[in-house]
Structure 1
C-alpha cells in the first residue's frame, strides 16, 4: 500500500488549488483509507494522508482515438489516388442504390485512409477511423472485395 501526504491550506488564496491537487490525485488512484488532522499555526491547514493503490488499467477495445486516418489528399501516391477513385465510384453507385447521400456511406477521409492502408480483412478495416460495427457490416465486404479486385 502506498501513502501520499497533502496539505490543504485553509486560506482562501490557496484552498482551491490545494483541493484541486488532492481531487486530481484521488481520481487517479484507488483509495484504501484516509486520515486527516487539522494543524493550527502560523498557517492553518488540514493534513491529509491518503493510503492508496495505483488503479489497475483494464485492457480495452480499440478506441476511436487509436484508429488510423488520412486527412490530406497529397499524402497519397498515384496508385493510391487511383484506388481512391475506384472507391469513390463504388460509393456513388452505393449511395444511388440505397438513396442515401454519399457522405452517409463513407467520408472522403475514410476512403483516403482505405486507399492508403489497403486493408486485406475486416479486422484491418476496423483500424480505420469511422469504421465501427455498423459500417463494417454494411459495407466491409464490398470494400475488401473492391480492394482485392484492383
Structure 2
C-alpha cells in the first residue's frame, strides 16, 4: 500500500484546483483508506492522506462480488451527463451545509458511476466502488431520492 498527501486550501481561489487534483489522482488508483485533519494557521487547509494501491485495468462492470466504477466521463450518455450534473449540484450543496470539501462527500468517479448505473435502492449503491455502510447511511437516501426525482 502506498500513501499520498494532499493539502486542500479552503480559500475560494484554490479550493476547486485542489479538489480537482485529488479527484484526478483518485481516478487512477484503488483507495484503501483515507485520513483527514483540518489545519488552522496562516492558511487554513484540509490535510488529506490517501492510502492506495495502483489501479489495474479491470474496472467497469464486473462480477457481483466486485464493486463497479466508471472512470471516464466520455462513457456517459447525454442523459447520464445531465444526471451527473444534478449529483454534482447536490454534492456541492451538501458539502457547503456540512462544511466539508466536496470530495469527502463523493468523488467524481462515484458520481459518474451512479449516473451510469442509476441504482433504484440503497442496496444497489453497495455495488458502487466507494460506497460502504457509512457513506450509504449518510447519503444513500438523498442520492436515491435525487435519482427518482429526475
| TM superposition score category, shorter chain reference | 0.5 to 0.7
Structure 1 stretches (4+) deviating beyond 3 angstroms?
none
Please provide the CA RMSD for this pair: 1.0
Instruction: Compute the displacement of 1:94 (Å).
Output: 0.1
The alignment's TM-score, normalised by the length of structure 2, stands at 0.57
Instruction: Give the CA deviation at 1:115.
Output: 0.1
Q: Which residue of 2 aligns with 1:91?
A: 91
Q: Residues 1-150 of structure 1: matches in 2 within 5 Å?
A: 66-150=66-150
Question: In the alignment, what sits opposite 1:35?
Answer: none
SS for the counterpart of 1:109 is helix
Equivalent-residue separation in structure 1 for 2:122 and 2:111 (angstroms): 15
Structure 2: any 5+ residue segments left out of the alignment?
A: 1-63
Aligned mates of 1:122, 1:98 — CA distance in 2: 21
Q: Distance in 1 between matches of 2:82 and 2:122?
A: 22
Distance 2:122 2:74 in 1: 26
Q: Distance in 1 between matches of 2:142 and 2:122?
A: 11
Residue 28 of structure 1: aligned partner:
none
Q: CA separation in 2, counterparts of 1:126 and 1:119? A: 9
Distance 1:140 1:119 in 2: 10
Structure 1 unmatched ranges of 5 or more: 1-61
Question: Take 1:125 and 1:79, find their aligned partners in 2: how far apart are those partners?
Answer: 20
